Structures are given as structure tokens and as C-alpha cells.
Amino acid sequence: MLQLSVIRENPEAVIQRLSIKHFDGREIIPNIIALDDKRKETQKHLDESLAQANSMAKEIGLLFQSGKAEQANNLKAKTMELKNLSKELGTSLESTKEELEDLLVKVPNLPHSSVPAGNSAEDNVKMMQEGKIPQLSKDALAHWDLAVKYDIIDFALGTKISGAGFPLYKGQGARLQRALINFFLDKATGAGYLEIQPPLMVNPASGFGTGQLPDKDGQMYYVPLDDLYLIPTAEVPVTNIYRDVILKESDLPLKNVAYSGCFRREAGSYGKDVRGLNRLHQFDKVEIVRIAHPEKSYEDLEEMRDYVSGLLRLLELPFRVLKLCGADLSFTSALTYDMEVFSVAQQRWLEVSSISNFEAFQANRLKLRFRNEAGKIQLAHTLNGSALALPRIVAAMLENNQSEKGIRIPAALVPYTGFEYIT
């Protein structure tokens, strides 16, 4: 949620910046300001009315105590009017606030000044690319065929037990999952991230805090009996640790890492996008989250990008980094880097990490703040990124590293798998 102060300060600039995200703010922004004016006006009247009622109540108390019951009763009669007025104003204030909130949550975050508008994912900016793209023989297999050949992932069994999009890993496949998770967690804790094991279900308040609710509730699995959502990413529970928290400036930056299963309904997905491991209802991911000082958050973002690049190097996967254009940038993000690995048999780039700076957008809704040097309370910045999501890493690794000897495991991972080849 954008800060009202930002909108009020320079509405024209806000509208202009929103247009980079192809969001037309020409109507909603003035409406927000008008509603906020109304809110202030109403609150002022309400406060005045309540102040009067308070002082009358005090007076009545004093009159009773000094035995002037008759005067007190006279005053009492007068309070009726004030009470009704306050009630009316209170109701009006409530509804104005609601209207205002309803509009505010519809406005996306402002993109960083370096973000180009673009029209689609085609216009994302390639920042860099590295790693050698291997040449495979003609009979090279896609990962879903390799999964069968080596009997390491059983999609059919997953379907039998749960449904499409719930793969079952076995043998060396299962071991590879465990190896990757441990590898990623070890690297992150080594880089100063505090390991968190979060709940996998969250309440609605947490969903609102990170912005999955109210809009994207159709993307989460929901358990109505207990009013809980299965997390689509560890970002949700981990970031919500800091909901309604006022930190010390010296606490920043906070660095957390969490492994979790992730659950996504992926309603409306179809075709080659969902084949094999490309898009799943349940998958494993290690997520890094940072709570940053506003003046340092972009340094942090670069650091996170470097960190994830390092992981991909260790995994010996060819990758590229994209800066998302306005058209592709998410609702909550100010700047996002997508990290993609090349999956040779599929001949396509697969997104394995998305690293974003949300600036104060999430923090505003979370009420995640810190006390600065001057003693003033101000919103912190939140950032997060995958480090990394497993399935597409596995897909690329299977495809790129296939050979006659089997699937080669990158050296950095061998201590975790205990084997050099999947055979």
C-alpha cells in the first residue's frame, strides 16, 4: 500500500510513475486525495464533538460530587444531542476510511526510476548473461523424460495421490531435493542470514500484510474450516514476523532465510508452461528476506542479486539476469530482477529466482517501522528473493548435465548428494 503522504506530496508525479506500470491513476489518485480530505474534515468534527462530551461528563461528575444533582441532571439532558452527533460522525468517518482504504489497496507500488515502461515480458532488460550453454546430442531428452528414464520423479504417482502438479520424488531424485535444500540453507546462513522455519499455513492478516490478499486469494489454497491459507512462498510467514513491529535502526538490515514447501493453485495455467517441473502446485523453495534501511535498500538488492548469481555459478548453470519492465513488474514491487537458467533440451529460459525491492509498500501495510536516529518512526523497506526455487533448477540440471554416464551433479553439490552422477 502506497503511503498517503507520498500521494499527497506530489500527485502528478505519482500518476506519471504509475503510468510506467500501465496503471491509469488519473481518476483514482484525485479521488484518494478528496476522500482523505473528507476523512480529515469528518475526524475534526468528531473530535470536537467528543471533546465537548468529555468535558460535559467531567462537569456532571463534579456536580454530583458536590451535591448539585439538579444542575447535573440538566446537563445530562443536553448530552443526548452530542451523543447522537458523535454517533453519526463516527459512522460517517468509518465508511469514509473504508472507502479510502478500498481505493488505496488498488494502487500498485511506484516503480523505481530506472524501470522502463515496456509493453510485455519481451521488453524486460537483459542485464547480463553468463555460463556456457552446452551442446546436446540430438537424442537429448527433456527433464520429464529423464525423470522416467532414471526413475527419480514420478509424476503419475503424484497425480494418483494428489493430482497434477504434485510430483513425487524418489531415490536419487528425493536425495537431490534434500541436497539442494541443505546446500541453499548452508550458503545463506554462511552469508549471514538467520535461518527460520516458518509455519506453512497463515491467517488472513498475514496474507494481507504481504499483499497476497485481498486480490490474489484465488492463487492460494484455503482451508475454510480453520480460516487458514497454505503459503505460496516463505516470504509470507517470514515477512509477517515483522508485522506491527518497531525496530531499532541498529537492527537493520535484518536478514532471514527460510526453506518451505510452497503451494500454489496456479489457476488458469496450461500447456507447455506446466509440463514436467515447469509449474507445480507444490514445490520447494529457499527464500531470503531482508528488512532494510530505506537509504540502503538498493545496495541490499544488488547484494542479493550477487548472492543468487553466486549460487547459480556454483551449480554451474548458464543464467541471465533481467530487470523487469513496468509492464511485467508485480503490483507490489518497485524493482525486480528475474534470474533465469537455460534449460537446454527445452531450449528455453526458466525463471528460478525473482529478487525484489518493495521499498515501503509492504511495510506500510505491515506497519513495519524503525526508530531513526532523530527518534522519529519511519517505515522500513522490505526485500526478498528466491535462493532458490528447486524444480526449475532440477529441470535445467537434468537436461543440461545429461550424458552417457548419467546426470552429472555439480561439484559444489556432491558433498550434499553423496553421488556424482544420477544413474
User: Contact between 60 and RNA (CB under 7 A)?
Assistant: yes
User: Contact between 421 and RNA (CB under 7 A)?
Assistant: no
Specify the stretch interacting with RNA by CB under 7 A; choose among 37-45, 111-119, 235-243, 411-419. 37-45
Number of residues that bind RNA (CB under 7 A): 27
* Among the listed residues 221, 199, 200, 219, the one whose alpha carbon sits nearest the alpha carbon of residue 211: 219
At which residue does the C-alpha cell 460530587 appear?
Answer: 65
CA distance 347 to 158: 26
Grid coordinates standing for 368?
513495519
Nearer to RNA, 373 or 404 (CB): 373
Task: Provide the minimum distance between the beta carbon of 110 and RNA in the complex, in angstroms, as a whole number.
Answer: 19
Q: Could you list the beta-strand ranges (E) of 78-227.
A: 125-130, 153-154, 168-169, 194-196, 201-202, 222-223
Nearer to RNA, 40 or 405 (CB): 40
Q: Which of 10, 26, 27, 58 binds RNA (CB under 7 A)?
A: 58
- The pairing of strands 282-292 and 254-263 is antiparallel
- In the window 67-96, what residues touch RNA (CB under 7 A)? 76, 79, 83
Nearer to RNA, 127 or 377 (CB): 377
CA distance 75 to 328: 64
- In the window 239-268, what residues touch RNA (CB under 7 A)? 246
Task: Provide the minimum distance between the beta carbon of 47 and RNA in the complex, in angstroms, as a whole number.
Answer: 4
User: Contact between 178 and RNA (CB under 7 A)?
Assistant: no
Task: Provide the minimum distance between the beta carbon of 250 and RNA in the complex, in angstroms, as a whole number.
Answer: 9
Burial class (CB in 10 A: 0-12, 13-18, 19+), 336: buried
Q: Which of 7, 15, 32, 46 binds RNA (CB under 7 A)?
A: 46
CA distance 365 to 105: 9
Nearer to RNA, 159 or 372 (CB): 372
Alpha helices in 150-296 (DSSP H): 155-161, 172-190, 204-210, 235-240
CA distance 18 to 107: 8
Instruction: Return residues touching RNA (CB under 7 A).
Output: 4, 36, 40, 43-44, 46-48, 50-51, 53-58, 60-61, 64-65, 76, 79, 83, 246, 369, 371, 377
